[in-house]
Amino acid sequence: MDSRLISGAGREFIIKDTHRGLYYEDGKLTKVLEAGRYKIPPHKQWFKELPTIECMLVDIRERELTIKGQEILTADKVAIRVSILVQFRVTDPKAAIHTVDQFEDRLYSDVQLAARRSLASMNLEEILTNRNRLSEDILSDVTESANGYGVAIRRADVKDLIFPGNLQEIMNRVLAAERQSQAQLVEARTRAEVEQIESESRAEITRRDASADAEALRLREQAEAESLRAKVDAETQAYEQRAKAAAVLEGHPALLRLAELETLRDLAKNANARLYLDLERGRVSHDE
């Protein structure tokens, strides 16, 4: 137990933040001292007897306690040796010193018995696959009683787990087989995932190619339709212009005659063009 008794009239002492002081007057605890500087008063003052003062320093820092090499029978009668690491701190210095004789020894015994009870209810397979259960069982079993003597347990973990020699060899073989089986399972899953990804990639490429072909065909058909529509629009506009010109010429014979004369002038420039005059009707035709 990390505690120290300070006594002696007139003695000065310092309590650090890591400790607390139990202040006794004639053996009776009167207060708990926080961190600071203190002085023990003298025994006498003006011929008057004063109480004898003592101060016990108690460490309140978190610390570790190792429960070593406990041989325990499991539920399926397998003898194993287990070491447990406990992390704890004193939260109530008065209870830690006054409630039990040695709080670290008491904590050691409580954790030891809790571990025995827990492991005795578990078979070997459960111990191997679920060590956390042991820690949970110890905390559940000991936390309340430890609080009763001023100690808070932070965690209790299995530090070492030792099996009989022949059992250890068998377990090593089992674990090796399990690791190999897991590796094969991972490999098979990886291969299946790769094949699935490749299949999905091929399907996606095929889908994209089909989509691209369909889009190209649509664009080509659209271009052809637009070209045909433009051609029809051009021919329609030409027909409309000719119809308008014919209507104008029909309503204005002079313009029609002027157009004929311009045509004759253009034909006159061509040596191969032949003109035919219809004197009776007053019309002229030509032939190239």
Of 97, 29, 30, residue with least CA distance to 59: 97
Query: pLDDT value at position 87?
Result: 95
CA–CA gap between residue 201 and residue 231 (Å, rounded): 45
pLDDT at 14: 95
Q: What is the pLDDT of residues 2-42, one digit of tens each?
A: 678 898 888 999 999 999 999 999 999 999 999 999 999 88
Structure tokens at 215: 């889009």
Instruction: Please give the Cα distance from 287 to 73 (Å, whole number).
Output: 129
Q: What angle do CA 77, 78, 83 make, to 5 degrees?
A: 125
User: 41-45, 119-123, 228-232: which range is least confident on average?
Assistant: 41-45
